[in-house]
Amino acid sequence: MLHASALFSQGECPPVLCFSMGSLGFLLPFPIESFVDVLRGTLAGPVSILYRMRLACTPLDDSGNVLARCNRTLAPRGWQVMNEVALNRGAHSHLAVLDAYLNGERLTTGIADGLLLSTPTGSTAYNLSSGGPIAHPEADVLLLTPVAPRSLSFRPVVLPGSARVRLQIGARARAPALLSLDGRDVGELNVGESVDVRRSPWPIPCIERGGGPGTGWVKDINSLLLFNTGFVNSREVRDR
C-alpha cells in the first residue's frame, strides 16, 4: 500500500485493493489465497471504500522557500505521505534539535533522536513503536510523537487534522537532520531548513472488507496487535 501511495505521490490515487502475503498485514484486509474471489467481487460491486488521510509535505529553506535541490521532484502541493513524516538524527552522533510550529505558532523545541508527524493510518506504524497513541483511520487528527526524547515530560500530542505543522532544524543543532517520508530517506535538512506538513487534498481510497461482525479495524487491533491482551490470554485471542 505504501508503494502504491508512492507511485501517486504527486496527485490523486485510484482505489487500492490490498492483499496480505504472510506478514502482519494490518493494512492489508484480504488474504492472498482469496484474490480470485475478491477480485470478482470487487469488479461486480458494490465495494466499501475507506479514504485514508495522507500528508502533503514541502521542504523549505531558511527563508521559507521551497528547497532548490527538491524542485525537480516536488509537486506543487508537496510529496504525499501515507504513514508519517520523520525527522531524525540519522547517522550523526548528536541528538537532533527540532522546533515544532503549529499554525505558525511555536509549539516546542524537541531534543531527541527525532520527531514524527503521523496520520491515523500511520499511528500503528513507527508512531506506535515510539510510544504514540493508536488512532482510528477515520479520525481527523495528526499525531506528533517524539523518538527517544531527552526530556521525560515530552509526550505525544494529538493535533486537529486541519492543522499546519512545520518542523524546523533548530539554531542549536550540531548536525543536520535526516528527512524520511514513509520510511524513504529524502535527504538531510540543515540548520534553519524545515518541512511544512498539512493534510493532503488527495487521500488514499482503500477497498475494505464488507461490514458485519468480525471484520474491519476492531478485529485487526485485537487479532493482529493483540490490543490490551495479557500474556496469559494471548494464545486464546490468536485462536479466536
Q: What is the CATH number of the domain that holds 31?
A: 3.40.50.10330
Whether pLDDT at 234 is above 60: no
pLDDT at position 233 is 57
What's the number of domains the chain is made of?
Answer: 2
* Domain match, 158 and 215 both: no
Spatial separation of the C-alpha atoms in residues 105 and 169, rounded to whole Å = 15
* Domain match, 224 and 183 both: no
* Domain match, 166 and 208 both: no
pLDDT at position 145 is 97
pLDDT at position 38 is 87
* Domain match, 82 and 194 both: yes
pLDDT band per the 50, 70, 90 thresholds, residue 186:
confident
* Domain match, 191 and 212 both: no
Q: Which pTM value belongs to this model? A: 0.87
pLDDT at position 187 is 87
* Domain match, 188 and 214 both: no
Q: Over pLDDT 90: what percentage of the chain?
A: 56
Whether pLDDT at 23 is above 70: no
Length of the chain: 240
Question: 8-17, 176-185, 190-199: which has the minimum mean pLDDT?
Answer: 8-17
pLDDT in tens, 55-73: 999 999 999 888 876 655 5
pLDDT in tens, 102-141: 999 999 999 999 999 999 999 999 999 999 999 999 999 9
CB 197 within 8 A of CB 167: yes
* Domain match, 60 and 88 both: yes
Q: What are phi and psi of 237, to 5 degrees?
A: -65, -40
Q: What is the CATH number of the domain that holds 91?
A: 2.60.200.30
* Domain match, 235 and 134 both: no
* Domain match, 208 and 176 both: no
* Domain match, 193 and 80 both: yes
Whether pLDDT at 214 is above 50: no
| Residue numbers of the domain that contains 16 | 2-52+203-239
223 class by beta-carbon count within 10 Å (0-12 exposed, 13-18 middle, 19+ buried): middle
DSSP labels for 4-51?
HHHHTTTS----B--EE-SS--TT--EEGGGHHHHHHHHHHS--EEEE
* Domain match, 9 and 71 both: no
pLDDT band per the 50, 70, 90 thresholds, residue 215:
low
* Domain match, 94 and 177 both: yes
